[in-house]
Amino acid sequence: MMEKMIFGRFIPGDSLVHRLDPRAKILFVFLFIAIVFIANNAITYAILLGFTLLSVFLSKIRLYFLINGLKPVFILMAFTFFLHLFFTQGGDLLVSIGFVDIYEEGLRQGIFISIRFLVLVFMTSILTLTTSPISITDGIEVLLGPFKRVKLPVHELALMMSISLRFIPTLMDETGKILKAQMARGSDIGSGPIKERIKAVVPLLIPLFVSAFKRAEDLATAMEVRGYRGGEGRTRYRQLNWRLIDTLSLLLLVGFAGLLWYFRS
């Protein structure tokens, strides 16, 4: 499962979403995160889900690939759903089995929160899948540019975010390799009491941390050898180019927000 994780991965392509300016995509995602909270009924959540699926279609990323790479997230989403289902009270009592009571409001909130969680994960995944880490770094640095006046280390912050995104899939792959190696040696992490499972994880974590620190040291050495001294005075090889399609994408999002507000109860 680890090697199928898509967090932080970039898939080159020529879709409409791929061609958008990274600044537009970053703004789009952050605005979308705020707009999601406008939805509060079945109609608005249906519109929200439809808009997200349209974005997936425009990115030319297969829905199956996206779902398959986000399986761990679906486990968390299912946990959230059942948490609301069993502990949120309100409305009519739908099911009562022993000490378990399921109310209409609990079912409603469970479905709505799960959809909200799903669309947020899908949109943020589309951002990383269609935008290279370098482009994300450049976009964040430009967007945070005004904060340089208050001595905020914008370039360094953007670089840290980019490196973090870049290393997520690398560490996932490394975890998968170590896990397979431990299983080949007879280690069984997935069964037994909780205490035994925790003990079995230790041989997995130690080589993972060693590998992570080794990669970080190699990266630091490579940056130092190449004369990296921070963002002051640096120029960009790739220049960002804001086009009409980027403006239209944000206007589309504003129109989408207005549509949600119109159908909001």
pLDDT digits (tens, 9 = 90+) for 95-122: 777 777 788 888 888 889 999 999 998 9
CA 161 to chain centre: 13
Other C-beta atoms closer than 10 Å to the C-beta of 220 total: 11
Asked whether residue 117 is assigned to any structural domain, the reply reads: yes
How is residue 93 annotated by DSSP?
Answer: E
User: Is 196 a member of any domain?
Assistant: no
Q: List CB contacts of 150: < 8 A, sequence separation 6 or more.
A: none
Number of structural domains (the chain) is: 1
Q: Which pLDDT value is given to residue 5?
A: 63
Lowest-confidence segment of 2-6, 43-47, 175-179 by average pLDDT: 2-6
Residue 9 confidence class, pLDDT cut points 50, 70, 90: confident
Residue 258 resides in a domain? yes
CA 204 to the chain's CA centroid: 25
Q: How far apart are CA 117 and CA 113, in angstroms?
A: 6
pLDDT at 47 (0 to 100): 93
Tell me if 85 is assigned to some domain: yes
Residue 86 lies in a domain: yes
pLDDT band at 2 (very low <50, low <70, confident <90, very high): very low
Q: Mean of the per-residue pLDDT values for the chain?
A: 83
Q: Which of 60, 78, 172 is nearest to 118 (CA)?
A: 78
Residue 167, domain member (yes or no): no
Residue 41 counted as domain residue = yes
Asked if residue 219 is part of any domain, the answer here is no
Residue 190 banded pLDDT, cuts 50, 70, 90: low
Query: Range of 245's domain?
Result: 2-131+239-263
What percent of the chain is predicted at pLDDT more than 70?
Answer: 90
